Amino acid sequence: MAEGLTAEVVDATAKIDAAAWNRLAAATDSHANPFLDHAFFLALEASGCATRRTGWTPRHIVLGRGGQIVGLLPMYEKAHSQGEYVFDHGWANAFEQAGGRYYPKLQCAVPFTPVTGPKLLTGGEPGLDEALLATAARYADERGISSVHATFVPEAEAALAERSGWLRRTDTQYHWHNHGFGSFDAYLDTMSSRHRKVTRRERRDAVEGLDIRWLTGSDLTEAVWDAFFAFYEDTGSRKWGRPYLNRKFFSLLSAAMADRIVLMFAYDGTTPVAGTLSMLGKDTLYGRYWGATGNVPFLHFELCYYQAIDYAIEHRLTTVEAGAQGEHKLARGYEPATTHSVHWIGHAGLREAIARFLRQERAAVTREQDALGAYTPFKKGS
């Protein structure tokens, strides 16, 4: 540890000064990623969604100097691998079958959020990133914890961690990019004729008889959140068996960050029948949750993908990130993007086995992304 620098592991976001946290986040991330805000972590923990009871025990690393917070690494001690979107169940099973103990592990992440953003919040001061990584590894080693995982980190952070001896992993998401489009029709002009026709038909069929509204700020009443939570619960129960977030979380988030939330609702008359939640950064719309009370063909595509593009064009945003997985996004104009995670593995044998696996996996991800490029809807050669 550098002279004059202290490191503390803090067991709650509420115990960390919000202004200091957000100052570091803003100085580190030029995109104003809303998921890095102190209020987002506070809502997760205060609502009971990310706590010891749910297997997410806060272990945030705070670096200090002269009474000031100069570095921060959001981190949780995990009793499982749920809610992470970077899957290590195979690693856990192999290690435990060989007589090891994989859990607990440490997870440097925004819980339940597969969105890329810096985890080493230092404002770019030299040496502090390495100090945070070293502190996390030392904390794990001293307590006999098997591993530390930092997920959905920027490529530069991944490269830095790799130089510090961590293992790098890659995967694929699908993002839409705004090339200065003045309208959705201008965007459609970049597509082949067949894809333009399909997109127009999907949009027409999805909204027939429905009214689409964008809700933010003071629009976000408790009644609106009640409707959204019903959508979220329906999707969550079908996908995961139990949704990760509870109703209280959305009220707390709305109270603190209403102007950075965008709900897109479909109404049948005055009744909301489907909705999606996105979060707003400086230049990016981050799509997160979707749900509906019935099955309307193409409405999922309309609210999650096309309306997000409409919003980005109208508000001159550069990117829409539409969440994890989903090759069906390709046909809607969302292109492959590489995501990165890094992993400190304490056991030498497990580390070597994972390193071999990751070398093969990274090569496979690259080949897959090269192949996926052929399936975008855009005019070829343009």
- Token pair 């969604």 is found at 49
pLDDT-derived band at 325, boundaries 50, 70, 90: confident
Domains of the chain: 6-171+337-375 (3.40.630.30), 179-317 (3.40.630.30)
How large a percentage of the chain has pLDDT more than 90?
91
* Closest listed residue to residue 93, CA positions, set 356, 354, 361: 354
pLDDT of residue 65: 96
Name the average pLDDT for the chain: 95
pLDDT of residue 235: 77
Q: Copy the structure tokens of residue 251.
A: 């009220």
90-114: average pLDDT: 96
On the CB side of 216, CA atoms within 13 Å amount to 10
160-181: average pLDDT: 97
pLDDT of residue 236: 63
User: For 104-132, what is each residue's pLDDT tens digit?
Assistant: 999 999 999 999 999 999 999 999 999 99
| One-letter identity of residue 170 | T
> Who contacts 340 (Cβ-Cβ below 8 Å, separation ≥6)?
116, 152, 153, 154, 155, 157, 158, 168, 169, 170
pLDDT-derived band at 73, boundaries 50, 70, 90: very high
Residue 1 has pLDDT above 70, yes or no: no
- Specify the pairing of strand 261-268 against strand 271-280: antiparallel
The model's pTM: 0.95
pLDDT of residue 323: 85
User: How many CB atoms are closer than 10 A to CB 118?
Assistant: 23
Q: Which residue has the higher pLDDT, 4 or 300?
A: 300
- The Cα 152–Cα 155 span in angstroms is 9
61-72: average pLDDT: 97
Residue 62 has pLDDT above 80, yes or no: yes
Residue 60 has pLDDT above 80, yes or no: yes
User: Residue 111: is the preceding peptide bond cis (ω within 30°)?
Assistant: no
pLDDT-derived band at 240, boundaries 50, 70, 90: low
- The Cα 197–Cα 201 span in angstroms is 6
User: For 179-200, what is each residue's pLDDT tens digit?
Assistant: 999 999 999 999 999 999 999 9
User: For 261-295, what is each residue's pLDDT tens digit?
Assistant: 999 999 999 999 999 999 999 999 999 999 998 88
74-84: average pLDDT: 96
> 210-219, 223-232, 238-247: which range is least confident on average?
238-247
pLDDT of residue 186: 97
